[in-house]
Amino acid sequence: MNRCVAILGGTGEARELAAELAGHRATRVISTLAGRVERPRMPTGEVRVGGFGGPLGLADWLAAEKVTAVVDATHPFAERISASAAKAARYAGIPLVLLRRPGWTPGPGDDWHWADSLAEAASMLPGLGRRVFLTTGRQGLAAFARSGRWFLIRCVDPPGLPLPARKELILSRGPYTVDGERELMTTHDIDLLVTKDSGGDQTAAKLTVARELRIPVIMVRRPTPPDVPIVATVDEALSWLGSAGG
């Protein structure tokens, strides 16, 4: 084979890219998953599950597998993984590109309030709502544990403690529909949505419903990405691999 591409995955874009590359006979594709999700959606081709022990461990693995290019297609909020990958690629002398879907943008009728962290989002709850739909994932929920508000918490896997005292927990995985999100939010009398700027279509329906129902949204900003080339689509990642990516 002429090249070996490592895809740091866990997103729909990572799976789409792996499927596209799997049909290239001259390319070996290895997808890596952090192993934090109990039942991940597996990509096409070779898959490695688990951590690397930091940038040096990842750099050693890249060298051992003779990887020629790295595509970081992790979640927009996987800040530590992306930073580690950028360092590892530099250590190993291997080109890396960040595949990052565009974030969401507010439109007419939206009432968005931006926060730089989950802690800041929690501090913004007073005055905005009393029954909160919390869709920020299972990590970091401790920021809301001392709030006296009622929470509808939705995440893929069971979260750890501490959690808010007044809550209902839903374990669910997208994609979600507008009709389904409308029923969920009206049934639970939701008057505030707290979410992260993950972008993409799979979980955007809640934002449409919030607009329809005139529900305010606290939107947590994405962390600053590492200083590496960035592409927004799978097609752009394929073009990068065909040129700078080897």
Q: Tell me how far the alpha carbon of residue 40 is from its chain's centroid.
A: 13
What local confidence, expressed as pLDDT, does residue 225 receive? Answer: 95
Shared domain check, 57 and 142? no
In a domain, residue 107? The reply is no
What local confidence, expressed as pLDDT, does residue 245 receive? Answer: 53
| Contact present, 192 and 99 (Cβ < 8 Å) | no
Per-10-residue mean pLDDT of the chain, 246 residues long, equals 89 95 89 79 90 95 96 95 97 97 96 98 96 96 96 95 96 96 98 97 96 98 96 97 74
Angle between helices 79-92 and 55-64 (to 10 degrees): 50
Indicate the number of domains in the chain.
2
Shared domain check, 173 and 93? no
In a domain, residue 232? The reply is yes
List, for residues 52-73, the tens digit of each pLDDT value: 999 999 999 999 999 999 999 9
In a domain, residue 95? The reply is yes
Shared domain check, 233 and 194? no
- Count of alpha carbons within 13 Å of 75, Cβ hemisphere only? 14
Domain that holds residue 166: 112-220
pTM: 0.90
Shared domain check, 135 and 85? no
Shared domain check, 209 and 135? yes
Question: How does DSSP assign 204-227, residue by residue?
Answer: THHHHHHHHTT--EEEEPPPPPPS
Shared domain check, 161 and 83? no
What local confidence, expressed as pLDDT, does residue 243 receive? Answer: 87
Shared domain check, 170 and 156? yes
Q: Tell me how far the alpha carbon of residue 74 is from its chain's centroid.
A: 6
What local confidence, expressed as pLDDT, does residue 94 receive? Answer: 96
Environment class of residue 24 by beta-carbon count within 10 Å: exposed (0-12), middle (13-18) or buried (19+)? middle
The CATH number assigned to the domain holding 153 equals 3.40.50
